[in-house]
Amino acid sequence: MNDKEKKLVPLRLSAKLYDAIASWAEDDFRSVNGQIEYLLTECVRQRKKNGKYVSDELDAPLELKL
């Protein structure tokens, strides 16, 4: 697969997480899909840069109090 091809991935998100990402995407003038792709790309870049994920607690349950 080259860089121009996109892989379709079904993704299930909680309603609260979706709403938070949608709001963030709107602030950044992106679609929800574009925002998710941007966030994942940044996370991969960070890992490649220093060998660590953005947070040491990446696998901790997410608590959104919106």
Closest CA to 24 of 35, 33, 10: 35
pLDDT value of position 53: 57
pLDDT tens for residues 15-49? 999 999 999 999 999 999 999 999 998 888 877 77
Which residue is associated with the tokens 């080259």?
A: 2
Closest CA to 39 of 49, 28, 56, 59: 28
pLDDT value of position 44: 84
pLDDT value of position 42: 86
pLDDT value of position 45: 84
Work out the pLDDT band at 4, boundaries 50, 70, 90. confident
- Where along the chain do its domains lie? 15-50
